[in-house]
Structure 1
Amino acid sequence: MCFSLFLIGGIVTTGYALVSQNLNLIPKEISWSTFLNGDVSSGIAKSLANAPFPDNAAKFERGLSWLVTRDLGPRVREGKNDWLFLNDELVVHQGRVLNAESRVKEIIEVGHQLANQGIELLIVLVPDKSRIESEYLGSQYRATVFSTRVNDFEKQLTHNEIHVINLTGALNSAKQGGITPFLRTDTHWSEPGAEIAAKAVAKSIQSLKITPSPAQSTQIVAQVDKIRPGDLVKLAGIDWLPTRLQPAPESARYNSFKSVPIPSNEKSKSMDDLFGDANLPNIALIGTSFSRTSEFIPYLEMQLDAKIGNFALDGGDFSGAATAYFTSPAFKDTPPKLIIWEIPERVLEMDRNHDEKILKGSF
């Protein structure tokens, strides 16, 4: 019955859109070449997909599947107590070992290229949410081959003299101390988790004997708890449902920060000051949305008493932000003293067609 109703609804609404000229199926220009190579049929298919009913059918299907069978689609998995997890963390990739080895080699090559330019590299490995919050997985299965994944990657980098910090230990210690490092309905860490991560990263930076600049003082000026919409609810396609029909909403801490530059000593001014380069951060961060959420950067700046150049990208996976930064004027014209490269565990073994080769035309 549902299938029949969908068919009838699609035919009626699409027919009405055609009659009312709100939907154009036929391209303005048709030639034998566009017809034979499939451009005409492809255009019709795209137009039909954007018709009012088909455009909303997928949304209705996601909501109905959740309400009837608790299904969250192919990208999201439901654990216990309304905890949600990203399916990417649980997928065993066929070429996982070779993929990880390929990425290790690439990081080593990047590290050598940067060292030749007098630039330090620090790799920051962010463990999976399903690793740190494993007690909430419920019936979801996390393969045993993942148990040493992030540690093995760390060991390979360390063996090749690449500076690396694995945040698993810091986040697990915070959890034992009563802190919940990750958000319940979101992919990312909570603000307390981001603060713990920032402290661990700052400690690693201090061991590199680099003086972060420009100096600035960062303080928390306000704190409030409020409902935080989870990105996993949106990814599952059920964020349009009434709140009471979604997974239980989550209250999270929100901090507001204020940063004030610290004036430099007049006697220590260099030629860089004359050309304005002294106000540019000598630390650059590349990575993913982990570096753009839960105030991770302000927490790191607060620990270092310095400004950080944030070049992270949402959805950057392994090399998105790195490729964009290494080919940008920001890197070529004003290279930093240190690059922090944040990498989520879940991307370490993904197929290499998900990211580009960084060194290809980057240096």
Structure 2
Amino acid sequence: MTTPKHTPPPVAADEPTRLRSRTKSSQILRTQSDDLATRSSRLAGLALLIFLFVGLLSSGALIVSGQISLLPDKVLTPQFFDGDITHRIAKELSNAQLPTTFAELERGVSWLLLSDTGPRVRSGCPDWLFLADELKVNHQAQRNADAKVQAVIDLKQQLSQRDISLLVVIVPDKSRIAYEQRCALQRPAALEGRIQAWTTKLDVGGVSNLDLTGALTPLGASAWLRTDTHWSESGAKAAANAITQRLKTLGISATPRRSFDESHAPLAVRPGDLVHLAGIDGLPLKWQPAPEMVAQTSINELPVASVASPDTEADLFGDADLPNTALIGTSFSRNSNFAGFLQQALGAPVGNFAKDGGAFSGAANSYFNNPAFKETPPKQIIWEIPERDLQSAYIDPIVFRPLR
């Protein structure tokens, strides 16, 4: 049996014409699409150029006007390795209006859609935020820590020559104490022993010190504010009491003796600095992490009867009525009424010379060049240092000039 051959279907007479017509139509559509893409890309490129040009103009205007400074007065090598220079440039340029507006928009959208908190803040359990610097393993960490330990030892020796005692107080990281609120947020194991290693070297160098981990650990998460870098009033009060007990064991007494009382404001929203650092503080409160409610405490010195004593009669310049204790440090000493709680625990006023953003040595340098130190030096100095600053780059060396 013969297999029938496959015969292709007959081709219509006008088929080649239809094929040519479809091919021509496709070419026309591609040409139109290419033209549209070309025009669109040109418009996008022009828009980008305009955006960059406006940003350049706004940044240039700030630089020319002297409103921003891209580089610090003194540039040190560690600042390049740790990214401090590029971070400073980015921070300074962000002061221009256009970058600020777009940055705020980007931060808000990233938080609402992705729960992203930006490069400086990390999210823990719901409504808990942590500072990224606490979780950072610093470049040349051991070298930095050793340099800072030696600087403290040298300062202690110089102060001792002037009969001024020094107590160094270490504030542990929030992520160390409130560890149960980290949830999936990991803390590097390399950071576990850095306080103990640092204070051990201070002990060897003869520097009195206090690690507040023991005082804050029993409080757990309640020692800290949820959306802020700093301790809560409970944590601040526990720290003040621990410092007072340590000074007693050292035989140090704060003067002049005073009495204090405290008052409490009604509960109110306390803005968290980590919400600000995350760039989401411009959003409505309901879209932010749950706001913190705090009844702020005020410590007030009670008036004393003006009865002259032999000491005050002999004190021609009134120095006997000045605090003999000075507090230097960071924003921890300026938050949650820590200085007030310290005065109340000591039963004496304290000169608070702490500095916001002072990091390791900013407040120390400001105070030692302050007329208050040169003209009426204290008998003891309490130096509060956050754990996260122990191993960061030592870029602001302590300068201690002799008293005259």
2:398 is matched with: 358
For residues 264-275 of structure 1, what are the structure 2 equivalents within 5 Å? 266-270=308-312, 273-275=315-317
- CA distance in 2: counterparts of 1:350 and 1:283, whole angstroms: 28
Once the two structures are superposed, residues 180-208 of structure 1 have per-residue CA deviations (whole angstroms, 9 ceiling, x without a partner) of 00000000000011000000011111222
Check conservation: 1:222, 1:257, Cα contact below 8 A: no
Please point out which of 312, 337, 359 is paired with 1:317.
Answer: 359
Check conservation: 2:355, 2:362, Cα contact below 8 A: yes
State the 1:116 CA deviation. 0.4
State the 1:218 CA deviation. 1.2
1:239 is matched with: 281
Structure with max Cα Rg: 2
Once the two structures are superposed, residues 309-345 of structure 1 have per-residue CA deviations (whole angstroms, 9 ceiling, x without a partner) of 0000000110000011111111111110000000000
Structure 1 residues 70 and 7, CA gap change in structure 2 (3 angstroms): farther
State the 1:156 CA deviation. 1.2
Q: Quote the RMSD (CA, aligned, Å).
A: 3.1
- CA distance in 2: counterparts of 1:53 and 1:81, whole angstroms: 32
What is the TM-score with the length of structure 2 in the denominator? 0.76
For residues 17-166 of structure 1, what are the structure 2 equivalents within 5 Å? 52-166=97-211
State the 1:214 CA deviation. 2.0
- CA distance in 2: counterparts of 1:159 and 1:348, whole angstroms: 17
Once the two structures are superposed, residues 234-292 of structure 1 have per-residue CA deviations (whole angstroms, 9 ceiling, x without a partner) of 01111000111111111223112221244586343256632111221100000000000
Check conservation: 2:124, 2:130, Cα contact below 8 A: yes
SS at match of 1:210: coil
State the 1:83 CA deviation. 0.4
Matching residue's letter, 2:316: L
- CA distance in 1: counterparts of 2:352 and 2:63, whole angstroms: 46
User: Where does the alignment leave 5 or more consecutive residues of structure 2 unmatched?
Assistant: 1-39, 66-92
Matched, 1:224 2:269: no
Check conservation: 1:297, 1:310, Cα contact below 8 A: yes
Structure 1 residues 258 and 52, CA gap change in structure 2 (3 angstroms): closer
**276-285 vs 210-219, greater mean Cα deviation:** 210-219
For residues 145-224 of structure 1, what are the structure 2 equivalents within 5 Å? 145-175=190-220, 180-224=222-266
SS at match of 1:123: strand
What is the TM-score with the length of structure 1 in the denominator? 0.84
- CA distance in 1: counterparts of 2:96 and 2:264, whole angstroms: 46
Once the two structures are superposed, residues 150-203 of structure 1 have per-residue CA deviations (whole angstroms, 9 ceiling, x without a partner) of 11111111122211010000101233xxx7000000000000110000000111
Q: In percent, how many aligned pairs have the same letter? A: 46
Matched length: 336
User: Where does the alignment leave 5 or more consecutive residues of structure 1 unmatched?
Assistant: 29-47
